[in-house]
A and B are shown apart, each in its own frame.
Chain A
Amino acid sequence: MPHPAAVADRPATRYQLSRLIPDRWGIMTLVIALFVATPLIAVATIALTPAPDIWRHLYNTVLFGYVEQTVTLIGGIGLGTFIIGTGTAWLVTMCRFPGRGLFNWALVLPLAVPTYILAFVFTDQLEYAGAVQGTLREIFGWRNRQDYWFPEIRSMGGAVTVMTLVLYPYVYLLARAAFLEQSVCVLEVSRTLGKTAWQSFWNIALPLARPAIVVGMTLAMMEALNDFGTVDFFGVRTFTAGVYDVWLNMDSISGAAQLASVLMIFVIVLVVLERMARRGQRYHHTSTKIQALPSYRLRGIKAALAIVFCALPVLLGFVLPASVLVSYAVVFFDVTLQANYLTITLNSLSLSLGAAVIAVAIGLILAYGLRMGSGPLPRAAVRFASIGYAVPGAVLAIGVIVPMAGLDNAIDAFSDRVFGVSTGLLFSGTVIAILYGYLARFLALSFGTLEAGLGKVSRNMDGAARTLGASPFQAMSRVHFPLIRTSLLTAGLLVFVDCMKELPITIILRPFGYDTLATFVFQYASDELFEESALGALTIVVAGLIPVVILALTTLRTRPGHASGGRA
């Protein structure tokens, strides 16, 4: 009930204005967020700088090709991940058939395989000289390419297939969680009202899970936009490939930046879609009560089809690449070791570990800074900085090069003028540039994890610590830090693994002659020597398996409603 005096007594607007000026934590949060967001700002600035010549050139030459290829690629992957992800999620949550328990967690495994590695494995197996065509030729006595037809793996269709096979788990995980959260009652009501199981799925379960599925699809499509290794290797002319191409082969940083800015339009569309879907998710919870789900028992041909539908993605997305990599790794073990495998692995490990530590430290400062209520400005800056996760690595890399070269030149000029010594390029083309790129892209991972972790700590904990004499920093180190240890570890692990897999940022920003496992594998695959780098690829997959296994052990095992002897 509003009361009449409320308006008259409104605290001074002067105070409201003063809230816009952040305090110390707010300023720190703001500065760090802006630092992380600088590559994004750089790309945006270039995009908004009029460059009619470049645009006319792009328009007349490659622009439409890029648009068409990019739309086809992410459209295909969106559709593919939807069908496989939603279908398998429905089967393992709602139906009973032999192997369901196994598929329940095995369906996540392809997430451990980077897109480009699956592309290399598929190419290795399916190209003319590969095992599959070789076997076919032997069986049927075909002599050469003219004797038979075989789909070309290095094509748009190949790229869509390969990426769908490793990206569908995003949809699977989210759809699965959404199906599990749905009130059984709603489905049962539908059944009692005379709908079949299939109609209930189509009319009730699917619409209710739609926001979650859309979030999963947008995440998969963002990953697809980020992919550089597959499209480059398959010769698919998407924007991401274009950015790299224009930068390296045409040596035009501004042209690359212009392409990157167009690519950003795709990213923005996806980010908006994702945010909208996430908002929608809140209103689609039907119940907080989770009961044992009804299980439709599948028999005979139906059960067999279900098994095939669930088994194919796991086999093609994980079992096949893993076994190919293992066998090559064994055969070419000595060759790989001689190719500096250990140094390169050490590079990857130290780089990823460094990035993880920095990302966790900065993520913690930002998450805690926002928790302290630093006002709208730092909040907006942090939100902006965390868009990086959606931005393709190639774009961020361009965004790192531009300001860093500017900084280097400024320092060089300054030093030359004041000390008479030219410093040359201090940061560009160093490991620092790579770390900066990683941070710009993966900060959102650590920030999001830590923000969620902090969210579970009651605000009264802060109040209690502060009134007992702890400064904000002491409260963080004495109360929050120990309370969110798990989140800190998770955040570090997520960043670490993604850095181990990262290809486009590394390949654009790396110092001359410096290799990580990802660039090493990419280089060898490009030189048709993929087998010899298989140990490297296997190492990346094994690292990628760590979070997937943790996910499988924690999230998937404690199936709500199915817990046997769970919490009392």
Chain B
Amino acid sequence: MSPTTTPPAAAASKADGLHMLNVSHAFGDDTVVSGVSVFVEPGELVCLLGPSGCGKTTLLRLAAGLEDLQVGRITIGEDTVADGQGGKQMPPEKRNVGLMFQDFALFPHLTVYENIVFGLSEKDKARRAWARETLSTMGLGGYADAFPHTLSGGQQQRVALLRALAPAPRVLLLDEPFSGLDVNRRAQIRQDTFQILSRSGIATLMVTHDPEEAMFMADRILVMQNGRIIQSGTPVDIYFRPQSAFVAELFGPVNRLDCRVENGALDSALGRFPANDLAEGTEAQVLIRPEALSLSQSTTEGDILLTVLTARSLGRSTHLTLGLKDDGAGPLFNARMPGVFLPEIGSQVSARVAPESVLIFPKSDA
């Protein structure tokens, strides 16, 4: 007998991927997903990131079989589980997917252990033993006979994850797995979950509206807006090379400046930036993240000067509001400086923007 826990990976050795091809979906007249393709390879964690109502949860439910597929095709491994054309809809109980819900959806009338083995047959001694062991390694060994409502949010989350993993699913689907948790515990639980999942090697599709969560968990991020995938890439790609203002602004409010391309450059209040490949005369917007605006109290001739309107220290960083003019009229800018940086209100600071962190998009892009 092995001294350590059997890793969940043992179950997922089938190494199946999830492919959703050209999927569209409508509720009545309301189209929520249009022409989306999602590929999740074995061992990969893909994150659907987008605001609420963008259709990401619908995609998850389609993959699980909880909604009937209307258009497109879904395969798990070699099997086509749903086909909009042929009308094939494999019921969810036959698909062998694990789905973890935002509210965890633990069965309130069953104990923690009964919840976890819900998807296992009576005869499946091996998986039942695995469930017991993993429960212990997760630090929940003492709660096997407790009822879910007596558990903390973080414990419930782990039980829900374990329950989804217990039947050794071919694909794991996570719907906002951390949003039900209180902020203080979230980072730790995210870390734990990440470790469990990376050990399991299961193709995982996760849905979230929290960009930080997506950055932390995902191998790849698919950004969704109005039922479409508007950008996909690694977390670093998405953050540093957003292809639209929408993607850039997912990560928090951004300083926005409207300019017109003149002589191949954009002349903004915060400096002159190359217009890249934008045509001459194009109305463009210049996006600068608050942390890309570096401020200094020592000013020299030719610097861009801004007036400090507010400065609040949050400990780890300082948030400042700045104006072009003393009285705060005209456009306002937000800056986030590391550590404590508290210039006097009304004083002038010099602002510098690293050109490589400036994001430029044509204006038509909302």
Contacts and interface: CB of A to CB of B under 8 A. Distances in A.
The yes or no verdict on A and B being binding partners is yes
Interface of A: 1, 3, 5-7, 9-12, 15, 18-19, 458, 460-472, 474, 478-479, 482-483
B99 A463 contact: yes
A513 to B, nearest CB: 47
B24 A468 contact: no
A252 to B, nearest CB: 49
A18 B163 contact: no
Contacts of A10: 24, 26, 31
Contacts of A464: 99, 101, 105-107, 163
A463 B119 CA distance: 12
A15 B84 contact: yes
Contact of A463 (B24, B61, B71, B96): B61
B34 A466 contact: no
A466 B24 contact: no
A467 B92 contact: yes
B71 A460 contact: no
Contact of B71 (A1, A11, A466): A11
A472 B94 CA distance: 12
Contacts of B339: none
Contacts of A469: 93, 96, 119, 167
30 contacts: A9-B24, A9-B34, A10-B31, A11-B26, A18-B87, A19-B68, A461-B107, A462-B66, A463-B61, A463-B64, A463-B66, A463-B92, A464-B105, A464-B107, A467-B66, A467-B93, A467-B164, A467-B169, A467-B173, A468-B93, A468-B167, A469-B167, A470-B93, A472-B91, A474-B93, A479-B109, A482-B109, A483-B107, A483-B108, A483-B109
Nearest to A460: B105
Contacts of A12: 70-71, 84
Given A10-B26, A463-B61, A463-B99, A468 B31 contact: no
Nearest to B89: A23
B106 to A, nearest CB: 8
A10 B84 CA distance: 13
Contact of A467 (B35, B97, B108, B109): B97
Contacts of B108: 483
Q: Max chain B CB contacts within 10 Å: which of A1, A15, A18? A: A15
Given A6-B31, A9-B34, A11-B71, A460 B93 contact: no
A467 B87 contact: no
Q: Dominant SS at the A interface?
A: helix
Interface string B217-238: 0000000001110000000000
A12 B65 CA distance: 19
Interface string B91-117: 111011111011101111100000000
Contacts of A474: 93
B119 A468 contact: yes
B25 interface: yes
A463 B91 contact: no
Given A5-B34, A9-B35, A469-B93, 9 more contacts: A5-B228, A11-B70, A463-B99, A464-B163, A465-B107, A466-B93, A467-B119, A467-B164, A469-B119
B118 interface: yes
Contact of B103 (A460, A466, A471, A478): A460
A18 to B, nearest CB: 7
A15 B225 CA distance: 24
A463 B101 contact: yes
A15 B107 contact: no
B103 A468 contact: no
Contacts of A18: 87
A511 B264 CA distance: 98
A18 B71 CA distance: 13
A466 B31 contact: no
Contacts of B24: 9-11
A468 B87 contact: no
A23 to B, nearest CB: 9
Contacts of A6: 31, 34, 226-227
A18 B106 CA distance: 34
Q: Max chain B CB contacts within 10 Å: which of A461, A462, A472? A: A461
A9 B23 CA distance: 10
Contacts of B164: 467-468
Nearest to A463: B66
B226 A466 contact: no
A482 to B, nearest CB: 5
A11 B105 contact: no
Contacts of B167: 468-469
A18 B83 CA distance: 14
A537 to B, nearest CB: 41
A328 B87 CA distance: 70
A465 B164 CA distance: 10
A471 B91 CA distance: 8
B84 A467 contact: no
A483 B109 CA distance: 7
Contacts of A1: 226
Nearest to B35: A9
B27 to A, nearest CB: 10
Contacts of B227: 3, 6
B290 to A, nearest CB: 26
Given A3-B226, A5-B34, A15 B101 contact: no
Nearest to B107: A479
Contacts of B103: 458, 460
Nearest to B98: A467
B18 to A, nearest CB: 13
Interface in B248-298: none
A467 B71 contact: no
